[in-house]
Amino acid sequence: MPTLHDQMTALVLGGGLSSLSARLVEKCKLVYDIDISSFSVDYMDKLYKHVKGVRFMKMDARRMYFSPNMFDIVFDKGTFDTIMTEETGEQDVQDLEKHLWKVLKNHGVYMLVSATPLEGIEAIFSSYSWKIELLGKESITEAGEEDEEFDEEDEQEEPEEKTKDSAEKKTDDSPSEADVKEAEEKLKEMKAAMKEFEEEMKKEQEDEEDVDLQNLAVHIYKITKQVAKG
């Protein structure tokens, strides 16, 4: 992360209702926050009208009309990924790259938070002379794994409660040992069949999506503008 100082001019892409710009202006000279939502821009402009040095504007990141070489740093924590998911995503990210190159000063920095892996970022940001650094990444499946462990513990405790309740409610009409054994065997077969089905479905999904869930992560990139090619 580059060091911010009071002579910097910063840009936030797709700020929405985030307070990031209001916090950045405490360390920068000027902060511009752009978003395509009129509601977000109007709301934030009224909310932070007392804060000097921050300006909220309705503008598309793919068609920015700022002056060339205007910004020392650009922050993006979701706009890039949103653009990537649109039908025209391939062309849109090319337009975004072109406008980032235009508005950043030489050696200016584009700070990007994205789910796109490093090789994807390097392929996308290849039309201009960028220095791309991966500063870190965090798995997005860790929290889910903790929830699964918690659920498994609950499931292990549940049979004991059911057994206790069953013992209390036991009557002379209880099924015979042979009936119980037969029911247990059928239940065991059903569980085995269900497990096999779930494994097949999981394999098919992984083959279709070609995604390794363990490697899904949010990446933090520092992308620096260098001297233009040629």
- Whether 164 shows a pLDDT value over 70: the answer reads no
The better pLDDT of the pair 77, 174 is held by 77
Domains of the chain: 9-139+214-225 (3.40.50.150)
Q: Distance between CA 32 and CA 44 in Å, rounded? A: 12
The better pLDDT of the pair 22, 181 is held by 22
- Whether 71 shows a pLDDT value over 90: the answer reads yes
10 close to 71: Cβ distance less than 8 angstroms:
yes
Burial 181-206, CB ≥16 within 10 A → b, else e: eeeeeeeeeeeeeeeeeeeeeeeeee
- Whether 230 shows a pLDDT value over 60: the answer reads no
**Mean local confidence (pLDDT), 23-51:** 95
Q: What is the pLDDT of residues 110-159, one digit of tens each?
A: 999 999 999 999 999 999 999 999 999 887 655 445 444 444 444 444 44
Give every strand in the sheet of 30-35, ordered side by side.
54-58, 30-35, 9-13, 71-76, 104-114, 217-225, 130-139
